[in-house]
Structure 1
């Protein structure tokens, strides 16, 4: 009996060791961790860009308002044309309305958040149908929305929302409210501070030039002593920033707020060796209080779409046919932080956003849709409206979105030449109508999007099918197959002809329509 118990104890300990896998600070080990299942099931999340930049809430159209401080201090002699224009526009606006002597730090007194009601925000997010929320805990300006001492120490002034501005722990308040609505709460964290005194702008530019690896390795003999001294100081400044600001902040967020998701940013111009992010991620996977739940993105060093828990695109097209969770993130307008000069024509309509959501989910992705609250803590009403409209549609069609996976064919295309779109097409707009309801002459278009749950297939139609008939090709069904429309309490008749399934929608009247813009046909027992 004792021998049997000892064997059971050894097996139990071995099983525990297997379950509690230890991760090493290298990508082979870190990438071996599967993305927690809640993320690819969620499909729709809310991004929130909110901070000191929300006070001016301004930039030229088509650019990011949260880059206000960076644009003010831009060197027009080294900037490209787009950045140079943004610098000119924001500098002119700033000097006219605040004065040339008004510092970015002076916006702290006006970041009041006096109308911020986290419960109201969380209620809107719940009604939107979002399954997760991601708040900017710290953007590239380094200002923290929680009481972080490293921010204030390194900047030499109160540089968080508890010691200045609203005098509130905004991360804590929203985290608690969102979780009360049974929504996952995530945090955006910028690993890059533009102007942190520990690591100056000049040092950053020196290191981002690509010379660091060269100057400290095989061609070191070609570097002048003065340049070598400069590079050494830059590397020491980076190390001070990483170990005395970035690491402590990251660990504090994880331990204090236990975010379900960590959205890193600011990564793109320096590799992960210089950022030293792999040891930080190994610590996260091994030591986070919620280590089995937490999800990370792919922005931990130059080269996105290579490592991390899931891949990201930004005002982009997303992916197709990859065996990896992914997410497209974009604003309702063309800025993440609120841009007060954007008007109704700059905002995506309900229909456009629903088409985007269906298209992205059909290809296996998530949509992280951004809102930019005002400095007083209110969410612009047009943004609230768009979120509620999405939620109303999801109330009917959520079965075809949440927990689904990409079908072997993400869409059914019509005959014709399939259009090809560039990254610019997706960034400048999103050619969603051209690929569906408004194709160019001779081009093919998507007649429906597909999503799947095991042997149940969902066909999401962009608009109402012509002549009340939906014809689906290349599907294999059996005698147990049933066809219906989500939100309509009746089965639909169908016929099979030459391998095509023709679904009759004529029994659904206009008064039966359960939603707007996209209608979901549910087909069971698809082989």
Structure 2
């Protein structure tokens, strides 16, 4: 027998839930513990003001245009499939995959270009994959030679070879909060996938209780790499830890399919890691994904939006394209769909962490910059309804979505129409929060006076001809 956390069922929007992403489907546990460290509480409150962040999955796998890391995993799932041209056997495939280190040379890498575009689009924080499950470090670790700054990697001669440092310094200079993604499992490490045994699935391939020294070596390796990241890369606001199967055995929830594959203890000693990280970075938010307790400071539904407000701080991580990693000719969402997703998320009290994957040349696809420019046009007009807001009842009513200012004196109502390209109607009728007494009303992006009347708990407005200038939504702002 073992203890299990109670699990809160999330009803998730169906769009974007393709089987490609079930490899990383994550439950949201009820075991949330509110931080008690005053600096963490303050940082978490400030983070909830940011609303819109940039996620970036990037590694040697971009050269093949395949899913990040997962093709190394010996599980027979849709997201782990390997292309025969990359290796006829599993052993050959792994050898060829790891040999990608010797050809990775993203010479167009320019984080200033990314930061400029993301900032104009309203993004306020960045989370970068310093190391994914494959173990390839995108930072200058001293614990392994499987890294972008190794002499085995052509890019090591570039003055920007430590891409993590370049990204963090550049985005920090532009006012972004900085988040470091780090995978707890490391499939390259001999102390996680011991070559004595073949790997069976995503988990450690030996019993850490039977071979305690090998597991102790892996714990030290992980601790040391996280110490490097939190010591050598300037101010870091978020430590975003992925690979939730590396966890204490007594936290496993057998109702969650992927957690049922965990057969052995994989306690990485988060107390030791978290204490070290907080010593190096006072107030840092730590996100030990899906592992309930004091080190999961916010929860992270993936590729989905909860259909209701959660009682915990939360963030949806979702892709601009179909994939977290770079795929040639990816299917990028429209700007309207991205903005609709943002509105849904913030109306339910969450943050939107949108993933954009750089390619093997070190740049985004051209269409990414087009999308970010379109989003920036909308954000310039409507940002006061987005940032530093909180959820407010009725949250969502038909095509209307609600946020409020933190002082509760202003309510914002977003009108969407997901069925078509957005055209603002001539008349809008909507309810307002209980006991809210509006004294003024305006439509963001329209300078003229708006005709409106209040009847009971409802407001009706007539929109002027300027409504035709509105793209993607109509945003009404009412103030007491």
Asked if TM exceeds 0.5, the reply is yes
**1:363 aligns to what?**
348
Matches within 5 A, 1:169-180: 169-180=162-173
Give unpaired runs (5+ residues) of structure 2.
1-30, 252-265, 418-422
**2:440 aligns to what?**
482
Q: 1:517 pairs with 456, 472, 475, which one? A: 472
**1:329 aligns to what?**
317
Equivalent residue of 2:186, what SS?
Answer: coil
Q: 1:449 pairs with 373, 376, 401, which one? A: 401
* Preserved contact between residue 191 and residue 246 of structure 1 (Cα < 8 Å): yes
Larger radius of gyration: 1
**1:251 aligns to what?**
227
* Preserved contact between residue 426 and residue 462 of structure 2 (Cα < 8 Å): no
Q: 1:405: Cα distance to partner? A: 0.3
Q: 1:375 pairs with 351, 360, 372, which one? A: 360
Matches within 5 A, 1:61-100: 65-67=67-69, 70-71=70-71, 73-75=72-74, 79-82=75-78, 86-87=80-81, 90-95=82-87, 100=92
Which string of whole-angstrom CA distances, capped at 9 and with x for unpartnered residues, describes residues 101-138 of structure 1? Answer: 76222212321011111221211121221000111111
Q: 1:328: Cα distance to partner? A: 0.2
The question of 1:265 aligning with 2:242 is answered: yes
Which string of whole-angstrom CA distances, capped at 9 and with x for unpartnered residues, describes residues 404-428 of structure 1? Answer: 000022112xxxxxxxxxxxxxxxx
Q: 1:80: Cα distance to partner? A: 3.8
Q: Distance in 2 between matches of 1:274 and 1:131?
A: 33
Inter-CA distance 323–27: structure 2 relative to 1 (3 Å threshold): closer
**2:260 aligns to what?**
none
Q: 1:35: Cα distance to partner? A: 5.6
Q: Distance in 2 between matches of 1:392 and 1:304?
A: 39
Q: 2:216 pairs with 224, 230, 239, which one? A: 239
Equivalent residue of 1:360, what SS?
Answer: helix
The question of 1:291 aligning with 2:282 is answered: yes
**2:175 aligns to what?**
182
The question of 1:166 aligning with 2:155 is answered: yes
**1:195 aligns to what?**
188
Q: Distance in 2 between matches of 1:143 and 1:209?
A: 17
Equivalent residue of 1:267, what SS?
Answer: coil
Give unpaired runs (5+ residues) of structure 1.
1-25, 59-64, 153-157, 213-229, 413-445
Q: 1:30: Cα distance to partner? A: 5.5
When normalised by structure 2's length, the TM-score is 0.78
Q: Distance in 1 between matches of 2:148 and 2:459?
A: 60
Q: 1:237: Cα distance to partner? A: 1.8
Q: Distance in 2 between matches of 1:35 and 1:338?
A: 35
Q: 1:47 pairs with 43, 55, 75, which one? A: 55
* Alignment RMSD: 2.9
Q: 1:278: Cα distance to partner? A: 1.9
Inter-CA distance 55–209: structure 2 relative to 1 (3 Å threshold): closer
Higher helix share goes to which structure?
A: 1
Residues matched between the structures, number:
413
The question of 1:57 aligning with 2:68 is answered: no
Q: Distance in 1 between matches of 2:201 and 2:86?
A: 29
